[in-house]
Structure formats: structure tokens, C-alpha cells
Amino acid sequence: MNEEKSFRGILVVDDDATNLRMLQEILSSQYKVYAAPSGERAMAFLGKRKPDLILLDVEMPGMNGYQVIRSLKENPETASIPVLFLTAQEGRDKEETALQLGAVDYILKPITAGVVLARVNLHMELEVYRKRLEMLVEQKTEQLRNTQDSILDILANVTGWRDSGTGGHITRTTAYSRLVVDCLMEKNHPNYRINPQYGEHIVKTSKLHDIGKVAISDSILLKPGRLSPEEFDEMKKHTTFGARMIDDAMADLGDVSPFLHVAREIVISHHEWWDGSGYPNALSGGKIPISGRVMAISDIYDSLTSERPYKDAMSHQEAMSILYKETGAHLDPLLIDLLHDTFPIFEEITVAQQ
Ligand SMILES: [Fe+2]
């Protein structure tokens, strides 16, 4: 007896007791066999246990095989269990229907031990390979994700190290953006639907919001006092410089990366104002991407609560009163309203990071 195979389970579903007995006899030398005499009983069993493979009769009173497989495929917990249909029906249309519904194979009755075992063994082996491959893909995806995160940190540090004040700024604004995104996902307001992937992209790429500052001259970027209007005009270009860097990367990738799209949104729009008086494109209201509006809040709060060569750091309360004053002019009023209970947590991050 094959030791490894004996631990794997097969659910056999058939309303014919003789067939069930025959299949148990054929398979039990190599597998743990569970028998269900109806579709309903099979579903009840699957609610408690997950076999490695299912042999499923098509024609059964009550829930038939097609209905069973449809339910299995709709449930993420059972969708990947391989199903082999086992039926007396012949004809290509039935076979095609079974395969279209997600069955991996189709065995016609009357069955023979050799055919059943050969097909079941084959699909069990394929399942082992599929799971190994899935694991490998997961590992590689995780590695790629970690590499992407590291490259983001390196790029964020390039900006931070040039402008000594922004190292902590990037860490804190990323943390604020995380709070804002989590809040919006939880509230699920129709104006701010953020799916988990978009939310994750906002948080991660918020680190790059000032990446364009690498193209700003030291005399402006490191100036200890306030900038003159001409110097400020030059500083404003960090949004378009950053967007151009991302455009180049997107051109190389064939413009297919949602991650870079969000990065670009943030880089180009985090200084736009709700009333249209921001830069570089004077966008207003809902024309400003949500990611840019999230970044604007994180950026402004941090600027207010951080010390600069030309100003002291404000307290959380002072910063909040300015933030509320800016609402409607600079910031999205509804967004500020939704974040009412989240802002106090900003203060905890400010304190922890300083
Ligand atoms: Fe900026």
C-alpha cells in the first residue's frame, strides 16, 4: 500500500448504492474514501471536511452533479478541489458541460477498476504539482513584493537624505496615509470606494510623493529661510519632475502597472487644492484623484507639526485648527469630515516618530 496516497481523501458522490460500494472497493486500497449518496449530503460533508478530490455523479434526485459543482466553484474554500464526473450519460455536449463547469475529467460508466484508478491517480499527481507550483508562485511573488518595498525605501531615502528634514517626513506621512486609507476602506463611503489593492498602492507609493525633489537645486531645496516667489515656482516643479520620472518607467513597462499609475497620481496631484488654486494643474474638487487628496492631508498635517528652519512645530490641536480652516479651500471637506475620529491617532504617530 502506498503510504502517502493512503492519507489523501476522495469524496465519492452517487445515489446508486452499488456504485458507491464498487468505488469504495476500487479506491480504498490507496485512498481514504468518503461516500455521499446525494448532492445534498455531499455539500453537508464539504462544509466540514475538504477531500483532495471528488468523484461526482451527474444524474441524482434532488441536487444533481452540475448543481453541486456550481456551488463548489462559487466557494473559495472548495473551488480548487478537482472534480471528476462519473456518469452513464454519453455525448459530447454532456462532457463539454462538465468541463465548462470546472470538472477536470469525465469518466463514463460502466466503470472499470483500471480506468478509475488510472484517472484518479493522474489527477491526484497533477494536484500535487499544481499545489507545488502555487506555493512557488506565492514565494516568488512575496520575494518580488519585498524587493519592490526595498526599492521604494531606497528611492524614498534618496529624497530624504538630500533634504535632511524629509526623512522622518516620509515615514510619518506614509503612516498617516495608512490611517486615512484604513478609515476610508472601513467607512466605504460611495465617494471614496477604495479596494484593498488601490489602498495598498496609495500607502506604498505615498513614499514617493516628493521623489521629484531630487531634480531641485540644493540652493532652493536646502535654503534655510522662506523661498522667494521665483524659488517657490522652481520648487513647484518637483511634482512634474517626479511625474516625468514615473512616465519614463511606465513607458519601459508598456504602461501596464497599476502601482505606477497610483504613484504618478500622488506625485503629480498632492499639491492640488480643493478650490482649484493648487499646482501644477489647478485641478479642483473630485478631479483631484483620491490618492492625491489623501496625500495632501498627510503632507499638510506633517508640515504643520514638524519643525522647519523658519518655523516651530505646531501642536496637534493647533495643526487641526488650521487643517479645519483649510477645509473647502485647500482640503476636501467630506474627506476631512470622514476622518474626524481618525485624526487623534495622527498625534500618536507624531509623538512616536519624533
Ligand atoms: Fe511635495
Its CATH class, for the domain covering 163-353, is mainly alpha
Task: List where CATH 3.40.50.2300 sits in the chain.
Answer: 3-134
313 Cα to the center of ligand 1, angstroms: 18
The confidence score (pLDDT) of residue 222 equals: 86
The percentage of the chain sitting over the pLDDT mark of 90, rounded to a whole number, equals 73
pLDDT in tens, 106-139: 898 888 999 999 999 999 999 999 999 999 999 9
The confidence score (pLDDT) of residue 273 equals: 96
Name residues whose C-beta falls within 8 Å of residue 288's C-beta, 6 or more positions apart in sequence.
269, 272, 274, 296, 332
CATH of region 3-134: 3.40.50.2300
For residue 192, the 8-state DSSP code is: G
Buried b (16+ CB within 10 A) or exposed e, 210-237: bbbbbebeeebbeeeeeeeeebeebbbb
312 Cα to the center of ligand 1, angstroms: 19
289 Cα to the center of ligand 1, angstroms: 15
Question: CA-CA distance, 243 to 7, in Å (whole number)?
Answer: 56
132 Cα to the center of ligand 1, angstroms: 45
Taking residues 331-342, report their average pLDDT. 94
Task: List where CATH 1.10.3210.10 sits in the chain.
Answer: 163-353
The percentage of the chain sitting over the pLDDT mark of 70, rounded to a whole number, equals 95
